[in-house]
Amino acid sequence: MAGVLPDVDGLSLLGGQAAYARWHHVLTHGVLAALLAALVLGALARRHLAVAALTLVAFHLHLLCDLVGSGPGWGLAYLWPFSPGEISWKGQWNLASWQNALTGLLVTLAALGCALPLGRTPFELASTVGDGHVVRTLRARFGAR
């Protein structure tokens, strides 16, 4: 959950393309949103500090991926609302790039690879029943370990 929280500001699209262009990568793509997410998720968890720390890691991993592969000129307002400046770099690649496709494929294969030794996948976040079907299907095809 913490890894996708930064994209909550994508809901600005409901206000139109101009609102999306203005507020996506601004409202929840910075240090203030990261700290708020860590505080809330950490407070709701049984292991407060561990969840808060992992929230910060996942949140910032999302920001790093956006910085690298969201598209040229698409910066992050990391210090908003304290500073209006954006962080970006000249090596950014497009969202629909081979780099993102390869990364997505490798992460998907790694996540599905969890099914054999662990008997679960990240799909359980969406549906435990669906996750059970995925695990059974993969184990039937590739064998249980």
pTM metric for this prediction:
0.79
Residues 10-23 have pLDDT tens digits of 999 999 999 998 99
Domain that holds residue 1: 1-93
| Residues 43, 12 within the same domain | yes
Q: How many domains would you assign to the chain?
A: 2
> CA 7 from chain center: how many Å?
8
Furthest CA-CA distance within the chain: 54
Q: List the structure tokens of 12.
A: 């600005």
**Of the candidates 1, 56, 64, 66, the residue with the CA atom closest to the CA atom of residue 33:** 56
Chain segment 47-71, per-residue pLDDT in tens: 999 999 999 999 999 999 999 998 8
Q: Are residues 19 and 32 in the same domain?
A: yes
The reply to whether 115 and 79 lie within a common domain is no
Q: Both 82 and 136 in a single domain?
A: no
Tell me if 79 sits within 8 A of 85, measured CB to CB: yes
